[in-house]
């Protein structure tokens, strides 16, 4: 019997990250399909929401197109051991095959043999698994019942959505989706490796993408969209990164991941030597998807840590100043959580003010001073906010940097930024961090893993317990949050104790069998049955 380790003996640094390998060897595929001929196509019972879903990603599809979503769901489900989560994923894929999202056409070409029978069986298995995993609640029963009604009426999209709601409850954080997003962010970070970068940070719509275009020398054009002035770049663009960087007139977030653009100073009329990388960033906490929110912040840290030096530029819009810099409060908290020794690095920060009417441009410092006089007690107590507030007041004293993207001298501004001090050795300055909003989701996910592991041990479902433990380990390795490591250690400690107790029971049974000579009781037999696969 190998010696088991107690929670306190678990190493601080976790072992090498294991690749998550397919666990469910049984092959199932919702993709076993045969083409129907045109005459067989049926369009009965189209959902009233079909059009909406056809044109849009819904809140359930985690920001990727439904076709990709179903594909990923299928691939991800193979990484799991049989469990309620896997059954739900299978059900969603199977229903997704009936409502054929691949071509975004309603049940047009595919025919899946016995699919509805498979779905019925899947629901029975799901219910059993939910019970065994102690996940069956009134709410979930209602959702399953509702899904069954939709299935009876062949309202596939609605049925799929009910299952997606259950999946979201069981799995508040989709770890595999998160890994994909972080790997994608790593690709951007690799482009930045060893370079001097300027990070443009700011709330959604503050003008980060627009200003990067203007600084890169893109031709800018103003037009009216929905009654608002929209300044947008006009192609062709100088490099591919700029093509992907769109400025967005809507209130919702436009930029979804960090995007680096390399600029030669001399190309835009600058006198400084060499090149600089301007890095567009997504806003923090402007998405309902915790995976995107987490990947954004981790992506920024990954990129910063790989770079040679970093200069952060905060974009502050006219509206933000009018709103008592409310948006800056969140931003400040998140920046400080990434840069714990912020006091030593404030000199590297610059502020660019956007969307200010001409008449207000000379009044920026005065407005900030005025704001200082009327700070609320809770604002004064907010140390993170005050660090930036005071710095902004200080750095605007001799005049604020105000940008008009239609009328900009990119070389001059980039030269000015080149003269400001940078954060050197960013790998020592930045630490992985996540927003408060995502921390809540992460804690919820860790707690669910903890209960799942405890219940799995009680049920002697060690394969499942190992899978959840591996997931916690992976999560810790990519996010480096102590809270995950604590839960992981607790779970290892619990599993160790549990296995020790099982071992003691087995030893005493074994001893008794020897002492009492071939006396096998009913309990012994039941126990044997329970352990045998």
Ligand X SMILES: Nc1nc2c(ncn2[C@@H]2O[C@H](COP(=O)(O)OP(=O)(O)OP(=O)(O)O)[C@@H](O)[C@H]2O)c(=O)[nH]1
Contact residues: ligand X, CB under 6 A: 202, 204-210, 229-232, 247-249, 253-255, 282-283, 354-355, 403-405
Stretch that binds Mg ion, among 99-107, 144-152, 207-215, 429-437 (CB under 5 A): 207-215
Of 47 and 210, which CB lies nearer to ligand X in the complex structure? 210
Beta bridge partners of 343: none
Q: State in angstroms the smallest separation of the CB of 349 from ligand X.
A: 17
> Using CB atoms, what's the residue nearest to ligand X?
207
Phi and psi angles of residue 431, each rounded to the nearest 5 degrees, phi first:
-130, 150
Q: State in angstroms the smallest separation of the CB of 52 from ligand X.
A: 23
DSSP state at residue 410? H
Cα–Cα distances in angstroms (integers) from residue 514 to residues 507, 523, 524, 529, in the given order: 11, 16, 13, 20
Stretch that binds Mg ion, among 79-87, 201-209, 317-325, 372-380 (CB under 5 A): 201-209
Which residues contact residue 205 at a Cβ distance below 8 angstroms, ignoring those fewer than 6 apart?
248, 251, 254, 317
Of 30 and 283, which CB lies nearer to ligand X in the complex structure? 283
Do the Cβ atoms of 261 and 191 come closer than 8 Å?
Answer: no
Do the Cβ atoms of 160 and 144 come closer than 8 Å?
Answer: no
Give the dihedral sign, CA 443/446/448/454. Answer: negative
Q: State in angstroms the smallest separation of the CB of 314 from Mg ion.
A: 14
Give me the numbers of helices (H) and strands (E) for the chain, helices first please.
21, 11
Which residues contact residue 235 at a Cβ distance below 8 angstroms, ignoring those fewer than 6 apart?
218, 243
Of 366 and 406, which CB lies nearer to ligand X in the complex structure? 406
Cα–Cα distances in angstroms (integers) from residue 281 to residues 215, 274, 457, in the given order: 15, 23, 43
CA atoms of 180 and 195, how far apart (whole Å) = 25
CA atoms of 278 and 181, how far apart (whole Å) = 21
Q: State in angstroms the smallest separation of the CB of 315 from ligand X.
A: 6
CA atoms of 313 and 414, how far apart (whole Å) = 12
CA atoms of 45 and 156, how far apart (whole Å) = 9
Q: State in angstroms the smallest separation of the CB of 200 from ligand X.
A: 8
Q: State in angstroms the smallest separation of the CB of 396 from ligand X.
A: 17
Segment 155 to 184, residues that bind Mg ion, using CB under 5 A: none
CA–CA–CA angle 511, 516, 518 (5° rounding): 95
Of 412 and 463, which CB lies nearer to ligand X in the complex structure? 412
Residues 234-273, one symbol each (x = binds Mg ion by CB under 5 A, - = not), give --------------------xx------------------
Instruction: Rule CB under 5 A: say whether 209 interacts with Mg ion.
Output: yes
Q: State in angstroms the smallest separation of the CB of 45 from ligand X.
A: 38
Tell me if residue 295 falls in helix, strand or coil: helix
DSSP state at residue 261? E
Q: State in angstroms the smallest separation of the CB of 263 from ligand X.
A: 17
Of 155 and 354, which CB lies nearer to ligand X in the complex structure? 354
Q: State in angstroms the smallest separation of the CB of 408 from ligand X.
A: 9
Stretch that binds Mg ion, among 50-58, 204-212, 297-305, 491-499 (CB under 5 A): 204-212
Which residues contact residue 512 at a Cβ distance below 8 angstroms, ignoring those fewer than 6 apart?
519
Total chain residues near Mg ion (CB under 5 A): 4
Pair of tokens at residue 512: 């008794």
Among Mg ion, ligand X, none, the one that 299 touches (CB under a kind-dependent 5 to 8 A) is none
Cα–Cα distances in angstroms (integers) from residue 323 to residues 128, 134, 210, 329, 368, in the given order: 53, 47, 22, 11, 12
Residues that bind Mg ion in the complex, under the rule CB under 5 A: 208-209, 254-255
């Amino acid at each position: 019997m190998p010696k088991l380790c107690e929670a306190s003996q678990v190493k601080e640094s976790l072992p090498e990250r294991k690749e998550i390998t397919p666990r469910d060897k049984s092959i199932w595929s919702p993709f076993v399909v045969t083409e129907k001929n045109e005459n067989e196509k049926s369009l009965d019972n189209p959902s009233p929401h079909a059009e909406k879903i056809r044109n849009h990603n819904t809140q359930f599809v985690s920001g990727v197109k439904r076709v990709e979503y179903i594909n990923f769901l299928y691939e991800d489900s193979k990484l799991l051991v049989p469990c309620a989560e896997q059954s739900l994923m299978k059900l969603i894929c199977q229903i997704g095959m009936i409502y054929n999202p691949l071509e975004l056409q309603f049940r047009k070409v595919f025919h899946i043999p016995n699919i509805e029978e498979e779905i019925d069986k899947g629901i029975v298995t799901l219910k059993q698994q939910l019970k065994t995993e102690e996940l069956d609640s009134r709410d979930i029963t209602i959702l399953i019942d509702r899904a069954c009604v939709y299935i009876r009426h062949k309202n596939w999209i609605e049925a799929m959505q009910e299952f997606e709601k259950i999946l979201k409850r069981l799995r508040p954080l989709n770890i595999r989706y998160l890994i994909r997003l972080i790997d994608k962010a790593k690709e951007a970070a690799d482009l930045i490796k060893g370079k001097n970068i300027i990070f443009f940070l700011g709330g959604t719509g503050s003008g980060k993408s627009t200003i990067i275009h203007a600084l890169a020398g893109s031709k800018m054009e103003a037009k009216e969209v929905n009654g608002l002035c929209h300044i947008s770049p006009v192609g062709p663009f100088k490099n591919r990164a700029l093509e992907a960087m769109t400025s967005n007139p809507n209130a919702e977030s436009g930029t979804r991941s960090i995007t680096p653009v390399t600029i030669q100073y001399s190309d835009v009329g600058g006198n400084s030597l060499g090149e600089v990388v301007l890095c567009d960033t997504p806003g923090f906490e402007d998405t309902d998807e915790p995976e995107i929110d987490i990947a954004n912040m981790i992506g920024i840290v990954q990129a910063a840590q790989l770079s040679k030096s970093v200069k952060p530029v905060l974009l502050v819009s006219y509206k933000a100043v009018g709103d008592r810099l409310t948006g800056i409060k969140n931003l400040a908290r998140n920046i400080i959580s990434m840069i714990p020794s912020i006091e030593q690095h404030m000199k590297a920060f610059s502020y660019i003010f956007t969307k200010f009417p001409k008449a207000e441009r000379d009044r920026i410092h005065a407005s900030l001073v005025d704001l200082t006089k009327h700070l609320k007690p809770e604002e004064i107590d907010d140390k993170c906010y005050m660090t930036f507030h005071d710095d902004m007041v200080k750095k605007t004293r001799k005049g604020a940097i105000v940008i008009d993207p239609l009328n900009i001298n990119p070389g001059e501004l980039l030269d000015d930024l080149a003269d400001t001090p940078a954060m050197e050795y960013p790998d020592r300055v930045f630490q992985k961090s996540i927003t408060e909003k995502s921390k809540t989701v992460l804690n919820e996910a860790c707690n669910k893993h903890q209960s799942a592991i405890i219940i799995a041990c009680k049920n002697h479902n060690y394969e499942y317990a190992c899978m959840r433990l591996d997931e916690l380990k992976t999560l810790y390795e990519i996010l480096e949050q102590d809270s995950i490591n604590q839960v992981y250690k607790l779970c290892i400690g619990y599993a160790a104790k549990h296995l020790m107790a099982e071992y003691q029971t087995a030893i005493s049974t074994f001893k008794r069998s020897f002492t009492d000579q071939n006396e096998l009781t009913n309990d012994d037999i039941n126990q044997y049955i329970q352990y045998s696969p």
